[in-house]
Each structure stands twice: as C-alpha cells, then as structure tokens.
Structure 1
Amino acid sequence: MAETHVPNRLFIKLLLGFWLCSSLIIAIVGLLPLLQQNHDRAPVPPPMAQMLENIAMRIEENPAVLQSDFLRRWERRGKMEGKPVRLYLANSQGQVVNTNRVSRNVRSFMLMADEEQTPISHQFKDEFVFGPARLMLNGEPYFLYGRLPDMHPRPWFFFFIENKLLTLSLAILLSGLLCGLLAWHLGKPLNSLKKSANALAKGDLSHRVDKSTTQRSDEIGQLATAFNSMADSIEAMVKNQQRLMGDISHELRTPLTRLQLSLALARKKGQQSTETDRIAYEAEQLEQLITELLELSRVKLSNNETRVHLGLAESLSQVLDDAEFEAEQQGKQLSIDIDEAIELSHYPKSLSRAVENLLRNAIRYADYEIHIEAKQQGEQIYICIQDDGPGVPAEELEAIFKPFYRPDTARQRESGGWGLGLAITEAAISAHKGSIKANNRIPNGLEVIISLPA
C-alpha cells in the first residue's frame, strides 16, 4: 500500500507564524512613509483653490496692484474658515517677492510643489499650506501660495512618523506579543507532555496527556497520542509482570506446603536429624520470602483493599503499639509525635505495613532512640522516622528501596530479610501518590521522610 505523506503542520505553523509576524511589522512600518507621501500630495480643497485663482486673476488683470499693499490688505480682511490667510507670491526662481518673512515650512512646500504638475496641499504640524496658482506678469510666470495657521488636525499616522523611537518600541512590543502567542500555542502542549513524562518516570503509570493536547491535528498532537499509547503499554507490561510474580509466588506455596508436611511426618516417625532441621529452616525462610513477594505484588497492584478517609493516628495505632513493645523488649526507647487531627484518604493496610517496615528497621539498627513524627503542612502530610543507628552509605540511600537490595552493612544472614521490606514500603507510598526519601543524620543515624497528599 502506498504511504501517504502528511504535511508537516508544525513546520507550517512556525513558518506562517514568524513570516506573518515579520511581514505585518514590516508592512506597518513601511506603510507610514507611503501614507505621509499620499498626504503630502493631497489636492487643494476647492474653496482654497478658487480663492487663489481669483486673486491671481486680479493680479494678472492689474499688475499695478503689486506696487501697493493689495496682498497685505487682502490678508487682513480675507479669512478662510474663520482664520486669516497668508499669501506668498514667488517668481520662477522661487523667490518670494511680496515679503521677506517666509517660514521654513512654506519654503519646503514650494520645493515639494515644484515637483508636481497640479496644485497640492500639505498639513504641517501647526500650519496648512496650499498652492500654487499660476499667473503671468510681463511675460514671466509667477506662483501664488496660501497658508493657514493650524488649519486642520494632523492625521494620526504623523504622530508615529515624528516619534520614531516610540514607533520602534511599539513595533517590538507588537512582534513580541505575536511571537508570545505563537510560543504559548506551542509551549502549552509541550509542557503537558513534560509533566506526563515526569509523572511516568516517577512511577505514576496511570498519568496520561490531557485530551486538549491529543486532539491537536499537528505533530504535537500525534506525539501526545503516541505517548499515551506507550504509557498504556508500559502500564500493562508492569502490571502483568507484578501479576506474574504474584502468581508464581502463589504456585510455589503448593510444593512448599507438601515439603513441610513431609518433614512433619518424618519427625513424627523419629527420622529427625541435623539435615532435616536444616531443610525445615530453609523451608521456613522460603515461606517468608514467598509471603514477602506476594505482599509486594499485592501492594503494587493495589488489589483487595478499599481506600478510606480515616485519621492517621487511628490507622497506625496497632503498628505503634507493637513497635513500642518491640523497642521496650530490646531496651530501646520509641517516642511518638503524631497530630490526632491529621486525616487523609488512604489504604489502611498498605500504609500501616509501610510504616511498620520502617519502624522495625529503625528499632533493629538504632543504638537507643527511635522517633516518629507526623505533621501536616498545607496540602502535604509528612511522616518522619528517625533513629540513632549507623546510617546507610550516602551512595546507597536511593538504592535501599529497590527489591532484593540490602546495604553491605545489613547483608549478614542473621539480620533477616531479603531486601523486600523497604521495596514494599516504597510501593505502598507510590500507590498513595506520595514519595519517600532517606537521609543520613548528623552525627549518626538515619532519617526516612514520607510525603503524602492530604
């Protein structure tokens, strides 16, 4: 079957986003001079053009009026839209013949109008200049211009033309806003993907990318869908592995039970010896190992237990009583500081087993004192268990929660266990969406902190 190639939508989004952003800014900035040019070349309003033509016609009919103060008298009594009009008569060389006081704006306009074939007008900051009207005197051409002070408000775009620094700042701000919207559009789903990946890495196999990301039609949406499919496969494989471990451990109990029954019958017939005692001891160790494996499998799969909302002290009461008794038998002291008001939704058996494993370890390796404390800070509940024992090598603090791992200081057979107790504890805390961490105390001892969501 022929493979269909889907267009790279993410590439198209990036290309169009940055291209449109830069094009829009260039168009806006480039349009300002064009608007200015069009405004510079605006036609003369009809009343003003008619006024200049009438005055030019009178001068042509009677050139002698220039010898008098005709133009000045006309300026004093002539008004346009309620404002006095100033007139300028220039010869073919561009020299104004009726006055020596010519503003810079008028001279600029005369140069501007000299390039045009028809009369034009231009609005300067504080005056409006228009013209020229052409007339002939003694066979030479003359040009008549008019000026009105502050005739009309200037167009809005002149503000940006004259304030180039402000215009540049606004252009940078606008481009930043457009690029920011594009970055947010691309960054939000990527951040969702990152959170899901981090949650999966921390052991939360049920976490998935949200639907708003997976429903996107670009490569990010395809990546989110592929990520969710991968997470589904990983969760299924891990659960199948845990279920297989539990099934195997359960099946091992049948031949183990037969072995223990055969040993009991042999002892009853008087066939007890050092070898049978050794077999009985190893069978008992194997029974404990299978029990631990079944417990680890049960906790990881969160089977056969209902989550309840209960006080922490109430859930741990039996565990704490047993720990106090065990510590007293070993000549050690256990101090308990748990706030009675702390309540949370949890699996009572799993959490109790987790705390029990930590307390037994602390009692076993403590020199004299063990302390357990529980407190709530905001939306988190912290359970801290401390002892004054030898601690754990710093490089092994994270590894002690892995199955079948025991530090070198605890590998002696008489210490008991197979390194599954802390693995069960870590699995139980993960089932509660919490975290567990171990630290060495100064000068000696170990501190284990459990963090649970309230």
Structure 2
Amino acid sequence: MRLPKITSLYGRIFAIFWFTMFLVLMAVLALPHLDPRNVKELPQDRYNELLTLTKHIEHRFAAEKDISIISQSLVVKYNDYTQQLDQEKQQTLRARKEHSQPPMLFIVDDKDTILTQYRAPNFVYRTVRNFITSVDAASFPKQRLYGRFMVSGPIPIKLADAQYQLYLGERWNRPPGFLFQLFDHPFQLLLAVMLVSTPLLLWLSWALSQPARRLEKAAQSVARGEFTIDPELEKGTSEFRQAGASFNQMVQAVNQMISRQQRLLSDISHELRSPLTRLRMAQALATRKQGESQELIRIDTEAQRLEQMISKLLELSRMQVDSHVNREKQPLQSLWEALLEDTQFEAEQMGKKLTFNPIPARDIYGHPQLLVSALENIIRNAIYYGKDTIKVTMTASTEQLIVRVEDNGEGVPEEELSDIFRPFYRVSTARDRHTGGTGLGLSITESAIRQHNGAIQASRSALGGLLVEIHLPLA
C-alpha cells in the first residue's frame, strides 16, 4: 500500500523529528545487544559448531577413564580436533578471520576447576574463570569478549564416565575498534547519529527555505513598487502554497486598485477640460461685447490657472498609469545628466548659478519618466525661488542614493515644511498664488519618490533657502 505524500510543512517537520528520535532510540536500545563485551547468548551457528566439536571429543576419548590424561591430550593434540571436522565446517572456520589460530578447549568440573592447563598467560585463565562465574547456572551457552579474547560455553560433555563442562577460548579480531569507541563514548555515538540525521535535516531546511526565499523576494519586489505576480509562489508545501496564492491575489488586487485610481484621476482631469473650454469661450464673447473689465480679467486669470492645474493633473495621471508595472533598470547618468545640463543652462539665462557634482556610476530600478519629473520639479522650484545660487549634490552608498537640492532663497517657514508636499498647498510667504504655481509640483515629486520605495523631506538649507533631500534605493 502506497503511503500518501506528506505536503504539510508541519507534517514534514514532525516526520523528520520523529524519524531522528527513532534513530537515536534504536541506537540506544541496540547498544547492549551489539556490544560483544556483554554476556550474550551464543549464536545458533556457533552453538552447532560447538556441539559437533563436543561429539568428536567424546567419541575420541570414549575408552579413556582418566580425566587427567584426557586433559593433557587436549593440550597436546587440540589442533587435531578441528582438523577432524567435516569439510564443510572446516571451510567455515577457515573463512573466518577470527580463527587465525586453533581455539583453546577448557574442561571444567562441577567445582568450576579448570582441568585443561595450557601454556598461556595468567590473563587467559582469569578471563575464563570470570566468564564461568558470570554464566553460572545459564540455561543456554553464552559468549563474551574480553579485549581480543572470546570465551564461549558451557557445553555439557561426558568424559571418563563423568559429566563436565566444555568452554572454548579463541582470538577474536572483530568487531572493528571504532565500534568499541562508540560503545565506550556516548558522545561519539551521538555524533554518529547526528551524522546520519544531519543530511535529512539539511534537506528539510533547504526544502522549507526555498519557498520562504521566493516569498521574501516577492515581498521585496512589492516594497520596491514592482507589483508582479509570481506563479512560483504557489509551489511547495501546502502552507506556502496558500500563502503564495494569497500574496498573488493581494498583488493583483493592489494592481487593479492603483490602475483604477489613476485612470479615474485621468478621466476626471480630461472631463474638466470641456466645461473649462466653454467658460473661456463665454469669457471671450463677453469681452468682445462689453470690452475689458476687472471682473472679466479676473475670470480669465482664474481660468488660465485652472487650465494649468488640469494640465498638471493630466501629466501626473499619464505618468502614474501602470507606472508600477512598466519599470526598468537604468544608469543614473543617462537618467538625469541631460536634465542637470538643461536646468544649468536655464539658470544661467536667469542670471543664476546652478552647480552639481558628478553623478555616481550606479544603476536604479524604476520608471524613468517619473524619476526625471520628480527631480525636475525640485530643481525648477529651486531655480525659480532661489536668489542666485542653486546646488545639487548626489551621493551613493552601498544600497542607497541621496539627492540634495538647495537654494539661497527665502525658504519655507519651519511649521510648513511638512505640508509643502500636499496637493495644491501653497506657502503663505513668497511662494503663493501670485507666482503662478499650481501647488502640484512637489506633490507629484513626493508621489513618484514614494512609488519607488524612497523618502523625501524638506528642511532649512545652509545657503539660507530650502533644502529638499531624496533617498532612493539603488539596484
């Protein structure tokens, strides 16, 4: 039966967590059974080999009645017993590296006295005695590893008309030494488990981070004013798919809302031209019939100002319609160099001096026309209201561009600095209605900068006039 695919984020986390815990638990539970230095039951194949060996010994000494002679014979001729095994068993023993030399056979009586005396170090006999004590009254033969010496038994054996116990001692070359280190050092065992589980956890981390990174990049794009739908967001685990689908729906809704708002502004501005045209036509007819008068001149002046406002609104709406979609990467030099040179020439014609530092060799991502219009409005305001000095400074850091435009005019009162970016707002001093402005220039600039995830602020300039500072993120 095929298991269902786990697509849930929390399902994957819990699955990997419990699988890792399962590995640790299995390793801990298996340690006592894997460590050959603990007393363990003799494997069935080894038990069968010892039984075969016991039968050969009993058959070989069936007529001998003195156990001391049998013990001595085992010491002298114990190599012969392994050679008398059938061919299959002999090949099995030879195939095992641990049997590089014949095993030692120990005959033990009912008082746990070792009757077989080999010329072996005391360590061997201490080991056998320790093993005899640890497996006393065992119902099934056991085995235990002492260093590199494996002891197995006991196997009941009948010799010299009496019952004895047979133990087997042999050199053992496995398991590898690094396993003993794991058994003796739990920290190393934990490290081994971590090495097994780490690739799984890294894969899980990568699988979870991919959709999260895509969502992060999409959010950064929206923060930069790029309202684009990314189908890749709707892939991955169910939680991220739902979040990606909701994010795309939000972007689509914001796109539609911005487009409708900007088109509404454009339509209203366009429709205002018709009654304005009729108003000016009526004013012209009245002037022809009645001649010039202060009232008719005032009507004509206000009509002209209204026409300028509508033109500005149409310009703003044309630039903003789909400006959040139609964006491109462009060098700062190609964007603003021509504007700075043109405004510098215009300032000279008015008897004023405009200076600017070299434009940083960096790129910016945005709507070119909006960015040009934003800086142009600020510079032309500085030229118009400055006495004779205008200064433009551009500095770039790792991720940000700072543009400063300042003049030596009368400036703006401190309490009105935060209001000059409001639509149709006019300063109560020299920058008033009589200058011919519509109050939309700085509003257009503030809107353009905000659409590019930037910031704009006004303050008092060191030159004595107004300082406008723009912060824009660089590509």
Q: Say whether the fold is shared (TM-score over 0.5).
A: yes
Q: Any unmatched runs of 5+ in structure 1?
A: 1-6
Q: Which residue of 1 aligns with 2:3?
A: none
Q: Which residue of 2 aligns with 1:239?
A: 259
Query: Counterparts of 1:386-425 in structure 2 under 5 Å?
Result: 386-387=405-406, 412-413=432-433, 417=437, 420-425=440-445
Q: How far apart are 1:147 and its partner, in Å?
A: 1.5
Q: Counterparts of 1:400 and 1:70 in 2: how far apart (Å)?
A: 117
Is structure 2 residue 201 aligned with structure 1 residue 163?
Answer: no
- Change over 3 Å in CA distance of 1:308–1:119 after alignment to 2: closer
Q: Which residue of 2 aligns with 1:3?
A: none
Q: Which residue of 1 aligns with 2:293?
A: 273
Tell me, what secondary structure is at the counterpart of 1:83?
coil
Q: Which residue of 2 aligns with 1:90?
A: 108
More deviation, 412-421/17-26: 412-421
- Change over 3 Å in CA distance of 1:381–1:199 after alignment to 2: closer
Aligned residues: 441
Q: Which string of whole-angstrom CA distances, capped at 9 and with x for unpartnered residues, describes residues 134-158 of structure 1?
A: 2357887432212222344449855
Q: Which residue of 2 aligns with 1:181?
A: 203
Contact 1:383 1:451 in 2 (8 A): no
RMSD: 4.7
The partner residue of 1:197 within 219, 232, 244 is 219
Query: Counterparts of 1:72-111 in structure 2 under 5 Å?
Result: 72-74=75-77, 81-98=99-116, 101-102=123-124, 105-107=127-129, 109-111=131-133
Matched to 2:259, the amino acid is: K
Tell me, what secondary structure is at the counterpart of 1:129?
strand
Q: How far apart are 1:249 and its partner, in Å?
A: 0.5
Matched to 1:163, the amino acid is: H
Q: Counterparts of 1:317 and 1:129 in 2: how far apart (Å)?
A: 92
Identity across aligned pairs (percent)? 32
Q: Any unmatched runs of 5+ in structure 2?
A: 1-5, 83-92, 94-98
- Change over 3 Å in CA distance of 1:135–1:209 after alignment to 2: same
Is structure 2 residue 171 aligned with structure 1 residue 149?
Answer: yes
Matched to 2:318, the amino acid is: R
TM-score (norm 1): 0.75
Contact 1:32 1:161 in 2 (8 A): yes
Contact 1:25 1:175 in 2 (8 A): no
Tell me, what secondary structure is at the counterpart of 1:282?
helix
Query: Counterparts of 1:432-451 in structure 2 under 5 Å?
Result: 435=454, 437-438=456-457, 445-451=467-473
Q: How far apart are 1:222 and its partner, in Å?
A: 2.4
- Change over 3 Å in CA distance of 1:404–1:83 after alignment to 2: farther
Is structure 2 residue 62 aligned with structure 1 residue 65?
Answer: no
- Change over 3 Å in CA distance of 1:190–1:339 after alignment to 2: closer
Query: Counterparts of 1:213-292 in structure 2 under 5 Å?
Result: 213-216=233-236, 218-292=238-312
Tell me, what secondary structure is at the counterpart of 1:203?
coil
Q: Which residue of 2 aligns with 1:20?
A: 19
Q: Which string of whole-angstrom CA distances, capped at 9 and with x for unpartnered residues, describes residues 78-134 of structure 1?
A: 888441533433343545455665466545543564464343444554123223232
Q: How far apart are 1:438 and its partner, in Å?
A: 4.9
Q: Counterparts of 1:306 and 1:152 in 2: how far apart (Å)?
A: 72
Contact 1:40 1:123 in 2 (8 A): no
- Change over 3 Å in CA distance of 1:68–1:167 after alignment to 2: closer
Q: Counterparts of 1:47 and 1:411 in 2: how far apart (Å)?
A: 111
Q: Counterparts of 1:295 and 1:82 in 2: how far apart (Å)?
A: 97
- Change over 3 Å in CA distance of 1:228–1:48 after alignment to 2: same
Q: Counterparts of 1:368 and 1:221 in 2: how far apart (Å)?
A: 60
